[in-house]
Structure 1
Amino acid sequence: MATATFHLSEEQFRCCICLEVFTEPASLPCGHSFCKPCIERNWTDATVYKCPFCMHVFPFRPNLTVNYFISEMSRQFKQSVRRKEPKAQKAKPGEVSCGACKQKAKKSCPVCADSYCETHLAPHQDNPDLKGHHLIVPRSRLDGRLCPEHGKALDLFCMSDEKCVCVMCVRYHHGGHQVGPLSEVSGEKKQQLMTRRSEVTSMIKSRKEAIQELSRRVEGPETDEGSKVFSSLREAVDRALDKLVRDQAEAKIQREDLIQSLRKEVDVLEATLEQVDELSRSDDHLQILQNYKKLPATPQMNGRGVANVAPLNSEASLVRALSKLEDEFIRTTREILDRELQRVKAFETVVTLDADTAPAQLVVSQSGAQVNHSIEQRNVQDSVHRFDQFYVLGKQRFSQNVYFEVEVKGKTEWTLGVAKESVNRKGTLILEAQNGVWAIGLKEKKYFACARPDIPLTPKAKPERIGVFVDFREGSVSFYDVANATLIYFFCGLSFMENVKAICSPGNYSYGNFSPLTIYNVKPEAEKELDFELDFELDFELSLS
């Protein structure tokens, strides 16, 4: 005789109250069956008896008896499942076990506060009431996932109070607050984590580069060309050389201490990076939001980079020593600065002025190489990019070493340098490092470095062309008198957090300040002609006044 084969699913033998395969199944008059203990508990203290599945109301409490046919079918089903299932894989030490059978858990349910294996996870995949539960990777500790006050799942996040809440909390304590689902807010936090990860990675890279550079300087030879210069002048500079040696020893100790400090910070940052990565990989919204604020603060360099450590044998330190000596030292200083200027000129690049950042009182040439003060205000559209004061930015943004030159010949007032790209352009701009501007200027026959208060400068000669060098690695901005090969001033100990652009001001046209401020680029002849035409037009306008 042929035997019919029936494919029965667990859903057909599952009690919709306990969501497990029937134990002592009892059938109601409506035809639905439940575990006898489950339906009895469901009707405890009930005044109206109804089917939990179809909600049919019975006029009196049905007499519950075990349905032996369903009971036998359930027993056979359990046996068939056990035969088909592979050998139970019990959870190993350290692994999360199923709360129902102690097998290795596949998922955890924060709402149910329990973990489940593949078999006991089925209700969460089939039952409509459980499908909405957000399942996460198995976790051994699920405490703290329910509201301690209301016992409801913490499945919402209050942005106003920065805390996870349940629906009852929102109703009674967070009325009018900005509240969102954990999944949405967690996604936003994950984006912030990625930004944080990028920042931490960049900080680790900068510190490792600083360690490498400092190590190279510590291990490198301590006698360079500058030391040879001092050797040839031993009788005249013994005192200066002795001081230099002492400074070198102190600088070496300082570097070694800084290397150790930076290495420790790298260890801390790498640990932070590991935490950020672990939290970024999590699909547990609650875990992300509860642990996000616990991430350790990232340490800042605070000026502790390579630029702030006294150089062992840099030409700048030798120049300062040689400047105190007489004729022979002047010649040596000139030679050293000539070499330094040639070195920084290797980073020379083209800079063009951005007319869209200039106020109505300034005129920028078509080539973007010149700017001057105009007698009449131009008809320009105001924008957030345009300065209210007499300043204009360059178009190019820089994140690496850069050098450019500015012609100031014939001018009695000017300002030039570099500024961070996001420099404030509206209202009064105070030029100082704190506001992201590093510049020097001339006004009322006095040279100065822009600070609060301004720092007086005394160049040896009146500069006609000024070279500007931004050294991102060393964290410095230097200004040179190109014709005389002298260093006018330099800002050091800087930490550039964003791109920089050239910034300049031609000053007011009064007091004979008629000449334009010119970016000295290697330009085609056509551009030079356009600049000449602009100069002629400006001079003609000024002559009429």
Structure 2
Amino acid sequence: MMAEAQLCGLQDEFTCSVCLDTLTDPVSIPCGHNFCLKCLSNCWDQSQECSCPQCRHTFTTRPGLKRNNLLNEVIKKLKKMTLSPSFPPTPPPQNYAGPGDVECDFCTGKKFRAVKSCLTCPASYCQTHLQPHYEGDALKHHKLVDPDRNLKEKLCEKHQKSLEIFCKTDDSCICLICVVTGHKNHEMVELETEREEKQKQLGATLSDIKRGLEEREKTLKETRRVMEEMKVSGIERQHLISKRGEI
């Protein structure tokens, strides 16, 4: 039973993160991740750059892809075991992306709905493709946010890095590369700190506006009351004058 439990825990290690099935003709790339030969070849053939579909590491030259014979033999032996004949992964329940949903950038074919977007990668992930961000040491420090279809707006136009710093001197959001290349000796704070400060200022401004509106409403009501009293007083005077005329 212990051996079976250990093998169950290894299923994800032999699953292709592109097709989400057991590796077929497994190939290993320099960053250490494994994929089906066909899946990885298709990904790179359709892209202008060669990057790892799992950790997004980019290679300057396309690595040669050769089947990992040792890994292939291990998978064959595991498939023969009665533990799991087809050895399928068991991804958590998730929904296909519908109108208004953010799609997973790594699903092939019909895409699942993204549950998180990563500002560091930057990309959006369904529950299955998000797992490496929780399990891998290289990705667990990435900044995850709620699904966002406008990730490009949160990237530095010059360096294509996430905007993490606010430059008070230039009143602009910048990336970490901008900090050392064009904003030396400027007054800077973390973007989150500036956002919290702006929210406080906005809250104070809204409170002032609300108080001002309440004061204006109070003044308007008082003006209407006085005008109504003057109107009644004028009617009463006219009525009194009329009576005196009759006498």
TM-score using structure 1 length:
0.32
Structure 2's unaligned 5+ residue stretches are 41-50, 53-57, 243-247
Of residues 114, 126, 132 in structure 2, which corresponds to 1:123? 132
Q: What is aligned with 1:68?
A: 72
Contact 1:111–1:146 under 8 Å retained in 2? no
Shift of 1:175: 0.6
Shift of 1:216: 5.8
Shift of 1:114: 2.1
Q: What is aligned with 1:223?
A: 231
Report the secondary structure of 1:148's partner residue. coil
Structure 1's unaligned 5+ residue stretches are 47-60, 235-545
Q: What is aligned with 1:176?
A: 185
2: CA distance between counterparts of 1:172 and 1:165? Answer: 11
2: CA distance between counterparts of 1:76 and 1:171? Answer: 55
Shift of 1:165: 0.5
1: CA distance between counterparts of 2:141 and 2:66? Answer: 35
Deviations 1:451-488 (A, max 9, x none): xxxxxxxxxxxxxxxxxxxxxxxxxxxxxxxxxxxxxx
Shift of 1:223: 3.4
Residue 146 of structure 1 pairs with residue 141 of structure 2:
no
Deviations 1:266-312 (A, max 9, x none): xxxxxxxxxxxxxxxxxxxxxxxxxxxxxxxxxxxxxxxxxxxxxxx
Q: What is aligned with 1:155?
A: 164
* Percent identity between the two aligned chains: 28
Q: What is aligned with 1:93?
A: 99
Contact 1:98–1:105 under 8 Å retained in 2? yes
Aligned pair count reads: 210
Shift of 1:215: 6.1
Report the secondary structure of 1:128's partner residue. coil
Contact 1:105–1:138 under 8 Å retained in 2? yes
Q: What is aligned with 1:7?
A: 8
Pairing of 1:196-207 with structure 2 (within 5 A): 196-207=205-216
Report the secondary structure of 2:117's partner residue. strand
Pairing of 1:432-443 with structure 2 (within 5 A): none
Of residues 132, 137, 149 in structure 1, which corresponds to 2:141? 132
Runs of 4+ in structure 1 off by over 6 angstroms are 74-78
Amino acid at match of 1:177: H
In 2 relative to 1, CA 100–185 (structure 1 residues): closer, same or farther, beyond 3 Å? same
In 2 relative to 1, CA 169–137 (structure 1 residues): closer, same or farther, beyond 3 Å? same
TM-score using structure 2 length:
0.64
Amino acid at match of 2:105: G
Deviations 1:74-109 (A, max 9, x none): 997862415xx43x4122211222222322222222
2: CA distance between counterparts of 1:78 and 1:190? Answer: 51
Q: What is aligned with 2:118?
A: 109
Shift of 1:133: 2.4
2: CA distance between counterparts of 1:99 and 1:62? Answer: 23
Shift of 1:189: 1.7
Pairing of 1:443-482 with structure 2 (within 5 A): none
Contact 1:25–1:33 under 8 Å retained in 2? no
Contact 1:113–1:145 under 8 Å retained in 2? no
2: CA distance between counterparts of 1:127 and 1:23? Answer: 23
Residue 192 of structure 1 pairs with residue 201 of structure 2:
yes
Contact 2:11–2:89 under 8 Å retained in 1? no
Higher helix share: 2
In 2 relative to 1, CA 204–120 (structure 1 residues): closer, same or farther, beyond 3 Å? farther
In 2 relative to 1, CA 142–10 (structure 1 residues): closer, same or farther, beyond 3 Å? farther
With 192-201 and 145-154 compared, the bigger mean Cα shift is at 192-201
1: CA distance between counterparts of 2:231 and 2:141? Answer: 73
Residue 166 of structure 1 pairs with residue 175 of structure 2:
yes
1: CA distance between counterparts of 2:215 and 2:173? Answer: 36
Contact 1:25–1:71 under 8 Å retained in 2? no
